[in-house]
Amino acid sequence: MVKTPFLGSRPSITLVGVGRWVLLVLTILAQGEFMSVYAQASLPALPEQAQAVINDKVAAPQGPNIWERNNLFGDFHGLRADLAAHGIYVRLAEVEEVFGNPFGGQRQTVAYEGITHFGLRVDTSKAFGLPGGVFAASGLEYHGEGLSAAALRNNALTVSSIEATRGIYLEQLWYEQSLLDGKLAVRVGQMRADFEFISSSYASLFINSTFGWPGYAATDLPGGGPNYPYGELGVRVQAHPADGWTLLAAAFNGDPLGANGPASDSSGTAFRLHDGVLAIAELQYQLNNGRDASGPPGVYKLGGWYDSDRFNDLPRSSNGPLFTNSLSNGKRAARGGNWSFYAVADQLLWLKPNTKDQGIGVFGRVMAGPGHPNLLNWYADTGVTYHGALPGRDRDTVGLAVAWARFSNSGSVGSGGPMGKDEVDLELTYQIVLAPWWQIQPDMQYIVNPRSATSTTPPAPHRGNALVFGVRTNIEF
């Protein structure tokens, strides 16, 4: 996600405010089918590998029963199937959500936001007779305002994975060529790294943005890195050297926004190439993923990134202490390059008997890097999901997760005195699948010590830990 300027006012909570918050939640639940709401597949947490599943759903026969269709509008009298036969897949999806914080944060309020997601993917083998090629383009329109900007002073672990600055964005525009019987694939163009790197399939259930592209990367990389809603120009190579093993490596332009921030590129169409280089690599091992596997499947990943751009330390006073107020209070040293290492684990613990995908899965991720010039230098998250936990609700999923971000010495002291060193997000969520094309997801989060991750100025006073309630609804058209 992209950090947006804080839009705040004095803290207040009234009966009118609480009533407005409750009314909006009930409205989004009640309107359901008649609202424009986005599909889960458009969320930044979704791994890129899931696109094959999306293509299959788009091309699959659409029956007359609206509750069993893969898309709300069905097959459009055979149009979807005809396009798929020629290798063309078109998507339109929407996500709408409302969140409020009745307690904590800098002020108590309700925030509404949503995205409309557009996607096109072309299989060049079917479309043009060019084997092994894929062309993809996608964009989105963001509307509303997120709760982190409205009430939590742009905290590091942003409440929602779709929070951004209002506007229309070109998300991705790339071509990929598969070689050596699928053992090697090269992709060139504008891409989002969060679809493939540092991703966790089980973590993608959760709504807080850190369970997609971790808050560590979104905070410390220039412009948040090549992640929602901005892609970056680059080259990605994917190799399968042996059964169960995958190597991903990519090089991107180092900053999607440049020195002037969103003013440099408010739509993702500047196609920047002069902001250093972000290099990232990841080695993956898939455990028990074969048809004859004797145990539950899992995916384990090790990776790291290096950004060659110039990074500035937060200002230091003449006697040594670090400050997070203004550059005029101290000297700032420019450093060349920045880096981080990380590890990811996804593991199915238990498969419910006589089912293909119901059961309990767990995930965990850790990231670490230098204390300077980074605001965050340690990060970890973990969680558990249960797919099909309730009788008669085989397609629903419940999950509990926690994320922890450690502020480095660069961000631990402010002009008003010592501040908390950690920000923590605890999230409980339940995704209700009303139809293959429609989900509703009530969500609760408790954010400990919400810290500003967007400015070197002292944060305004706040009322401490924030309790957040909300609901998201998704539709695949």
- Report the pLDDT value the prediction gives residue 292, as an integer from 0 to 100: 72
- Report the pLDDT value the prediction gives residue 402, as an integer from 0 to 100: 98
Cα dihedral 224, 227, 233, 238, rounded to 10, equals: 130
DSSP string, 196-264: TTT--TTGGG--SGGGTS-HHHHHHSGGG-S-TT--EEEEEEEE--STTEEEEEEEEES-SS-TTGGGT
- Report the pLDDT value the prediction gives residue 62, as an integer from 0 to 100: 60
Q: What is the pTM of this model?
A: 0.82
Query: In whole angstroms, what is the distance from residue 171 CA to residue 232 CA?
Result: 9
Cα four-point dihedral sign 119, 124, 126, 127: positive
Give whole-number Cα distances, 413 to 365, 368, 375, 418, in Å.
Answer: 27, 20, 11, 5
Q: Structurally, how many domains does the chain consist of?
A: 1
Residue 261 β-bridge partners: none
- Report the pLDDT value the prediction gives residue 10, as an integer from 0 to 100: 31
Flag whether 426 is in a domain.
yes
Flag whether 4 is in a domain.
no
Give the SS3 label for residue 41.
helix
Flag whether 254 is in a domain.
yes
Flag whether 343 is in a domain.
yes
- Report the pLDDT value the prediction gives residue 328, as an integer from 0 to 100: 32
Find the CATH number of the domain harbouring 352. Answer: 2.40.160.180
Q: Which residue has the tokens 């990841």?
A: 282
Nearest to 304 by CA among 255, 331, 341: 341
- Report the pLDDT value the prediction gives residue 255, as an integer from 0 to 100: 83
Flag whether 20 is in a domain.
yes
- Report the pLDDT value the prediction gives residue 336, as an integer from 0 to 100: 66
Amino acid at 379: Y
Flag whether 332 is in a domain.
no
Query: In whole angstroms, what is the distance from residue 378 CA to residue 375 CA?
Result: 10
Q: Chunked in runs of 10, what are the mean pLDDT values of the chain (477 residues)?
A: 36 39 38 30 35 50 75 84 91 96 92 95 93 94 94 91 92 95 95 95 96 93 89 95 95 80 69 87 91 84 89 45 33 66 96 88 95 86 96 94 88 44 95 95 96 58 82 95
Asked if 437 and 72 touch (Cβ cutoff 8 Å), the reply is yes
Nearest to 345 by CA among 202, 212, 214: 202
Domain that holds residue 466: 15-307+337-476
- Report the pLDDT value the prediction gives residue 417, as an integer from 0 to 100: 35
Flag whether 24 is in a domain.
yes
Flag whether 312 is in a domain.
no
Q: Which residue has the tokens 């998250």?
A: 381
DSSP string, 1-21: --------------HHHHHHH
